[in-house]
């Protein structure tokens, strides 16, 4: 497996856009070309020199926000995604990688996406966001989550992407 940065004129972009459409629910999806146009980086995940997935990330100070991440449907649950996120974490030891995943409706509900991230180097933070009528839990690649940095990132991203304004909050505090 190899991870490499692509640009808006990369020939692989159409392949990755198809994976994006297949993997990310429409209400949550943003075109990778739009992500690139607003300053995000898109990392192509290759297996045997074939694009099979992507990570769309935003860099902010000492924070890396993993905005979108997907592996082609027929290759999921084969360790490719786990290897890719561990590689992202490993290549950035001085930065926190932050991700949001849909919060379960109740404690009894299983959340495969959350389990995936916890298995692959992420920690629960106790922080949440809410937008598009959905509550998300915030995970971080370091146990000592820098909530102030994430709040600053959320404020900054609101100037770039007006419809994505994560408002971080804790359930055990007033928000």
Confidence of residue 163 (pLDDT cuts 50, 70, 90): low
What pLDDT was estimated at residue 3?
Answer: 96
Structure tokens at 25: 């629910």
pLDDT at 121: 95
- Candidates 173, 174, 136; CA nearest to 154 is 136
pLDDT at position 71 = 96
Whether pTM exceeds 0.85? yes
**Residue 22: its pLDDT value, please?**
94
When computed from its CA atoms, the radius of gyration of the chain, rounded to whole angstroms, is 16
pLDDT of 171 reads: 84
Residues 86, 121: contact at Cβ < 8 Å?
Answer: yes
User: Distances in Å between the alpha carbon of 175 and those of 128, 164, 170?
Assistant: 10, 18, 7
Phi and psi at residue 117, to the nearest 5°: -65, -40
pLDDT at 132 over 80: no
pLDDT of 1 reads 93
pLDDT at 167 over 90: no
Which tokens belong to 138? 């915030």
Say which residue, 82 or 167, is predicted with more confidence: 82
Q: Does the pLDDT of residue 174 top 60, yes or no?
A: no
CATH 3.40.50.720 fits 2-170, yes or no: no
pLDDT tens digits for 14-67?
Answer: 999 999 999 988 878 899 999 999 999 999 999 999 999 999 999 999 999 999
Percent above pLDDT 70 for the chain = 92
Instruction: Collapse the DSSP code of 39 into the 3-class scheme (helix H, G, I; strand E, B; otherwise coil) and give the result.
Output: coil
| Residues contacting residue 126 through CB under 8 Å, at least 6 positions apart | 145, 170, 171, 172
105: pLDDT confidence band, cut at 50, 70 and 90?
low
Say yes or no to pLDDT of 122 above 90: yes
């Amino acid at each position: 497996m190899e991870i490499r940065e692509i640009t808006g004129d990369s020939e692989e972009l159409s392949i990755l856009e198809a994976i994006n459409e297949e993997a990310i629910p429409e209400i949550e999806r943003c075109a990778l070309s739009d992500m690139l146009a607003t300053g995000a980086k898109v990392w192509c995940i290759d297996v045997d020199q074939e694009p099979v997935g992507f990570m769309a990330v935003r860099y902010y100070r000492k924070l890396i926000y993993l905005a979108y991440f997907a592996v082609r449907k027929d290759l999921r649950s084969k360790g490719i995604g786990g290897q890719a996120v561990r590689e992202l974490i490993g290549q950035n030891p001085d930065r926190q990688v932050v991700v949001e995943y849909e919060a379960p409706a109740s404690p009894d509900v299983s959340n495969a996406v959350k389990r995936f991230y916890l298995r692959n180097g992420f920690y629960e933070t106790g922080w949440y966001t809410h937008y598009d009528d959905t509550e998300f839990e915030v995970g971080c690649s370091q146990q000592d989550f820098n909530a102030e940095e994430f709040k600053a990132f959320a404020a900054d991203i609101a100037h770039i992407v007006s419809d994505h304004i994560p408002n971080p909050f804790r359930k055990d505090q007033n928000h």
